[in-house]
């Protein structure tokens, strides 16, 4: 009898939607092989690091074409069975190649084949001598050794934190010998940094006694520890959700189990980390996109070994391995950043729920403004809903009023009523937050003589004026150019900014309130590392009393002295082609309004609009978010939109303008020939912004009442598309449960 053959099913980092079979390496003890181990395999002309998915005694590959694994890299599985299962599920649910899904889950250094071990990482920073170099020395260096000068400037900008290799790599190639010269001159110091575990600093803050709603929520969720369950914690802003998380986390940690906390923005983590640190006696790590490769690996390993009891992270941290995970908390569950918008387009919220199910543990989804999907799931009894209906402590809900600005005189977008209210609040020592969800100086530059408008050369979009009106930038492709002194059409110099962004608003406010400190918080002012923290400090220490900003300000921040929130332009979001736009607008409005009056002093919210009678606005303001959500869900039900149907969006783009529609038309006919019962095809149509970054874009929407029908079609259809000739001429992607429809 022949010995049964053994085949290894392997995930290879390749864009192909499949796994690959290999023979075990020569002389390998087959009993040591386990799924989740890394292997080195020959692939095409190269050798790649792959992950073992399964061991099988059959294969469809002809014997003559089977290759052998070259090397087994790990002595045990790097990924647990349940995590591997989650990744396989995500690959099939989001129809994304398993090799690339694994790539998202593994730290870069492990993908490159390095050992799963913590090593110190070198950090370069300026010495005090270098910080005091005179201008002449620096100028001389710039002339004689520009590469040294560039590194010096880079380190100068990094400040006391210094820089690891990764960010330096991004700026200069082969920089190490150059850096060595700087070290020899005594201008740069090198140290090794290992630790990035935030240690428990000894608990310094006492927990407040929970109010009855908080206590009830903790009890209900506490009773569900140790088994799968999704809790939707709906708490108005400032109602004390974080206190509920803390109480629940304490229980889980005291059982010796780990907690994963997912947050929308890296900008929020420092506040949260220090709050957790003051309250919990637990070592924690923070996982976000700003880490160096070494740091990421260390944090990942600390979670996997159990050394880190608490992991706080953004979206991708949902794939972190744990030794003994007991609870997942996802804060601000409605936030769009939980959905990855390119490549592997997963929703960290939905993956978290799946993970909790596979590992049999509870997940808490918290928000003041839950997504319509989650509310629907609660209605259906899939999620348990818990409510915190009032603000914690002494804080009161803010009063909200609409300012009808029709026919009103406006000063750079600000009405007299809003300006007067600001004055009142500032005079009584309040802080004022002015919200405008548009950065830059002005969204449009217009020629007053001929009507020419500055547009992007590569997109169907206007250029935004920014940087003190000196430059134009396209927010869709990143293109930038200086402002022309004259109109390119008629040579007039009467070029005028139309509309306002945060930069213009800041200037206008400074003009109106010359003696008041103003701080602007948007993506442009917070780009530099540490900038956000510095800006927030200036608010908290009271040196800045007017805050101007975009939605970055709406998220989670606690400004105890803000008593007035002004929403400059409510009209932007009321009319949009995207069916989710009203939901997002409502969430944003409630979240921004929630920044007012979060401590002893009552808050006021003023909303400027030209559409005071808009039904959405009316329902939201009169009856609150829950009533708005009910009405919006009813609209979705009637229109058979998500969550009442299941959607997938096939997008295509190409430089040649005819190809995307051609490809999608072809894709449509392929779908029509296959088993597409229960699935409706809508389109193809040009994308709402048809041209972006020089490519023409189009899309085809798939809609199904039953998810199973949709997935049955996707599986065969995408395999067909992958093999299709036309598909190679366009860039295409599939987005399951799309959040943005363009
Ligand atoms: P959320 O996460 O819902 O925005 P937080 O948990 O941050 O709310 O609470 C808002 C404020 O109220 C914080 O300053 C917090 O310390 C305080 N707070 C929360 N719960 C209580 C409580 N039970 N008693 C007193 N103060 C509380
Ligand atoms: Zn002109
Ligand atoms: Zn552009």
Looking at all shown ligands, the one closest to residue 453's CA atom is 2
Hey, whose CA ends up nearest to atom 6 of ligand 1?
240
Looking at all shown ligands, the one closest to residue 493's CA atom is 2
pLDDT in tens, 219-247: 999 999 999 999 999 998 888 999 999 99
**Phi, psi (degrees; rounded to nearest 5) at 664:** -70, -35
Looking at all shown ligands, the one closest to residue 487's CA atom is 2
pLDDT at 661: 95
Ligand 1 binding pocket mutation candidate from 393, 562, 598 (most atoms within 8 A of CB): 393
- 303 CB neighbour count, 10 Å cutoff: 25
pLDDT at 711: 94
Separation of 455 CA from ligand 2 center, angstroms? 13
Among residues 434, 427, 476, 428, the alpha carbon closest in space to that of 455 is found at 476
Separation of 345 CA from ligand 1 center, angstroms? 34
DSSP 499-568: S--HHHHHHHHHHHSTTS-EEEESTTTS-STTHHHHHHHHHHTSS--EEEESGGGTSS---TTEEEEEES
- Looking from the CA of residue 211, the nearest atom of ligand 1 is 23
Q: Determine contact, residues 278/198, Cβ cutoff 8 Å.
A: no
pLDDT in tens, 672-717: 988 678 999 998 999 988 999 999 999 999 999 999 999 999 999 9
- Looking from the CA of residue 331, the nearest atom of ligand 1 is 2
Looking at all shown ligands, the one closest to residue 451's CA atom is 2
The C-alpha atoms of residue 440 and residue 129 are separated, in whole angstroms, by 38
- Looking from the CA of residue 244, the nearest atom of ligand 1 is 6
Among residues 330, 333, 361, the alpha carbon closest in space to that of 262 is found at 330
Domains of the chain: 7-111 (3.40.1440.60), 120-194 (no CATH), 200-388 (3.40.50.300), 399-441+500-635 (3.40.50.300), 646-736 (3.30.70.600)
**For the range 318-321, what are the long-range contacts, defined as Cβ-Cβ under 8 Å and sequence gap of 24 or more?**
318/260, 318/262, 318/348, 318/351, 318/352, 318/355, 319/83, 319/86, 319/87, 319/104, 319/105, 319/351, 320/260, 320/287, 321/78, 321/79, 321/80, 321/83
pLDDT at 193: 62
Query: Helical H runs in 610-725?
Result: 615-623, 625-639, 659-673, 707-723
Separation of 316 CA from ligand 1 center, angstroms? 28
Separation of 211 CA from ligand 3 center, angstroms? 51
Separation of 462 CA from ligand 3 center, angstroms? 8
Q: Determine contact, residues 732/651, Cβ cutoff 8 Å.
A: yes
Separation of 168 CA from ligand 1 center, angstroms? 41
The C-alpha atoms of residue 688 and residue 709 are separated, in whole angstroms, by 27
Question: Position of tokens 């090799």?
Answer: 99
Separation of 480 CA from ligand 3 center, angstroms? 9
Separation of 445 CA from ligand 2 center, angstroms? 11
3 state SS for 238-282: CCCHHHHHHHHHHHHHHCCCEEEEECCCHHHHHHHHHHHHHHCCC
Q: Are strands 229-235 and 362-367 parallel, antiparallel or unpaired?
A: parallel
Separation of 499 CA from ligand 2 center, angstroms? 18
**Residues of 480-497 as b/e, b for ≥16 C-beta within 10 angstroms?**
eeebeeebeeeeeeebeb
Hey, whose CA ends up nearest to atom 23 of ligand 1?
210
Which residues of the chain fall short of a pLDDT of 70?
1-4, 119-120, 192-203, 266-269, 394-395, 556, 577, 598-599, 675, 742
CA triple 31-116-80, angle to 5 deg? 50
**Phi, psi (degrees; rounded to nearest 5) at 299:** -65, -40
- Looking from the CA of residue 214, the nearest atom of ligand 1 is 23
pLDDT at 1: 46
**For the range 503-508, what are the long-range contacts, defined as Cβ-Cβ under 8 Å and sequence gap of 24 or more?**
503/439, 503/440, 503/441, 503/466, 503/467, 503/468, 504/412, 504/413, 504/441, 504/442, 505/412, 505/413, 505/414, 505/434, 505/436, 505/548, 505/568, 506/548, 507/412, 507/441, 508/411, 508/412, 508/413, 508/414
Q: Determine contact, residues 691/654, Cβ cutoff 8 Å.
A: no
Hey, whose CA ends up nearest to atom 20 of ligand 1?
240
Q: Determine contact, residues 236/390, Cβ cutoff 8 Å.
A: yes
Looking at all shown ligands, the one closest to residue 486's CA atom is 2
Which residues 6+ apart lie within 8 Å of 681 measured at CB?
668, 671, 672, 700, 701, 702
Question: Position of tokens 């392929």?
Answer: 670
Q: Determine contact, residues 386/233, Cβ cutoff 8 Å.
A: yes
- 246 CB neighbour count, 10 Å cutoff: 20
Hey, whose CA ends up nearest to atom 8 of ligand 1?
240
- Looking from the CA of residue 556, the nearest atom of ligand 1 is 4
Separation of 598 CA from ligand 1 center, angstroms? 9
Query: Helical H runs in 145-206?
Result: 146-158, 165-169, 176-184
The C-alpha atoms of residue 154 and residue 146 are separated, in whole angstroms, by 12
Which residues 6+ apart lie within 8 Å of 467 measured at CB?
441, 503
Diameter of the chain measured on Cα atoms: 94
Q: Residue 22's beta-bridge partner residues? A: 8
- Looking from the CA of residue 239, the nearest atom of ligand 1 is 3
Separation of 459 CA from ligand 3 center, angstroms? 4
| Residues in the ligand 1 pocket, defined by CB under 6 Å | 208, 210-211, 214, 235, 237-243, 392-393
Looking at all shown ligands, the one closest to residue 218's CA atom is 1
Which residues are within 5 Å of ligand 3 (an ion), measured at CB?
456, 458-459, 474, 476-477, 479
3 state SS for 433-467: EEECCCCCCECEEEECCCCCECECCCCCCECEEEC
Ligand 1 binding pocket mutation candidate from 212, 243, 366 (most atoms within 8 A of CB): 243
């Amino acid at each position: 009898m022949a010995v049964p053959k053994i085949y290894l099913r392997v995930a290879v980092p390749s864009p192909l939607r499949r796994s690959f079979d290999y023979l075990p390496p020569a002389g390998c003890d087959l009993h040591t092989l386990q799924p989740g181990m890394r292997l080195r395999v020959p692939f095409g002309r190269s050798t790649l690091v792959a992950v073992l998915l399964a061991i099988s005694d059959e294969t469809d590959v002809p014997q003559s074409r089977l290759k052998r694994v070259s090397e087994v890299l790990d002595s045990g599985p790097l990924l647990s069975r349940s995590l591997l299962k989650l990744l396989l599920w995500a690959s099939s649910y989001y129809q994304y190649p398993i090799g690339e899904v694994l790539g998202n889950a593994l730290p870069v250094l492990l993908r490159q084949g390095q050992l799963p071990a913590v090593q110190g990482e070198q950090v370069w920073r300026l010495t005090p001598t270098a910080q005091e170099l005179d201008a002449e020395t620096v100028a001389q260096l710039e002339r004689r050794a520009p590469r040294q000068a560039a590194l010096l400037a880079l380190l100068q900008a990094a400040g006391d934190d210094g820089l690891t290799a990764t960010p330096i790599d991004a700026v200069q190639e082969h920089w190490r010998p150059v850096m060595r010269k700087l070290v020899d001159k005594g201008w740069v110091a090198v140290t090794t940094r290992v630790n990035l575990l935030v240690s428990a600093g000894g608990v310094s803050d006492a927990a407040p006694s929970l109010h009855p709603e908080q206590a009830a929520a903790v009890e209900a969720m506490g009773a569900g520890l140790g088994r799968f369950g999704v809790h939707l914690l709906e708490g108005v802003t400032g109602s004390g959700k974080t206190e509920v998380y803390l109480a629940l986390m304490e229980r889980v940690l005291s059982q010796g189990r780990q907690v994963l906390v997912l947050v929308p923005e890296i900008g929020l983590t420092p506040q949260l980390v220090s709050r957790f640190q003051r309250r919990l006696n637990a070592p924690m790590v923070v996982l976000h996109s700003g880490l160096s490769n070494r740091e990421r690996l260390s944090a990942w390993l600390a979670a996997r070994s159990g050394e880190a009891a608490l992991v706080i992270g953004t979206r991708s941290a949902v794939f972190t391995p744990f030794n003994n995970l007991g609870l997942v908390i996802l804060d601000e569950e409605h936030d769009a950043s939980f959905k990855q918008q390119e490549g592997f387009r997963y929703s960290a919220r939905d993956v978290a729920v799946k993970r909790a199910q596979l590992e049999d543990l509870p997940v808490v989804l918290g928000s003041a403004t839950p997504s319509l999907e989650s509310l629907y799931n609660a209605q259906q009894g899939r999620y348990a809903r818990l409510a915190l209906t009032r603000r914690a402590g002494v804080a009161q809900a803010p009063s909200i009023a609409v300012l009808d600005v029709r026919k009103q005189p406006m000063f750079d977008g600000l009405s007299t009523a809003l300006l007067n209210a600001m004055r009142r609040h500032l005079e009584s020592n309040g802080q004022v937050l002015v919200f405008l969800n548009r950065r830059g100086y002005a969204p449009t530059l217009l020629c007053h003589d001929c009507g020419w408008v500055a547009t992007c050369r590569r997109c169907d979009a206007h250029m935004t004026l920014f940087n003190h009106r000196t430059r134009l930038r396209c927010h869709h492709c990143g293109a930038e150019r200086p402002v022309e002194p004259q109109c390119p059409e008629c040579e007039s110099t009467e070029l005028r900014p139309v509309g306002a962004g945060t930069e213009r608003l800041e200037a206008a406010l400074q003009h109106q309130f010359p003696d008041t400190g103003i701080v602007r918080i948007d993506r442009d002012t917070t780009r530099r590392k540490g900038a956000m923290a510095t800006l927030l400090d200036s608010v908290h220490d009271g040196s800045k009393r007017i805050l101007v900003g975009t939605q970055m300000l709406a998220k989670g921040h606690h400004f105890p002295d803000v008593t007035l929130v002004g929403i400059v332009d409510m009209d932007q979001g009321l009319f949009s082609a995207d069916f989710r736009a009203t939901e997002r607008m409502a969430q944003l409005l409630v979240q921004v309004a929630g920044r007012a009056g979060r401590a002893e002093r009552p808050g006021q919210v003023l909303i400027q609009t030209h559409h005071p009678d808009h039904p959405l606005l009316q329902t939201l303001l009169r009856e609150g978010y829950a009533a708005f959500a009910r009405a919006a869900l009813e609209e979705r039900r009637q229109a058979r939109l998500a969550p009442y149907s299941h959607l997938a969006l096939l997008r295509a783009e190409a430089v040649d303008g005819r190809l995307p529609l051609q490809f999608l038309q072809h894709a449509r006919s392929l779908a029509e020939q296959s088993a597409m019962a229960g699935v409706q095809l809508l389109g193809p149509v040009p994308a709402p912004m048809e041209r972006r970054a020089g490519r023409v874009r189009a899309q085809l929407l798939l809609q199904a009442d039953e998810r199973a029908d949709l997935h049955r079609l996707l599986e065969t259809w995408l395999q067909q598309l992958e093999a299709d000739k036309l598909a190679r001429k366009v860039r295409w992607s599939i987005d399951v449960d799309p959040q943005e429809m363009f």
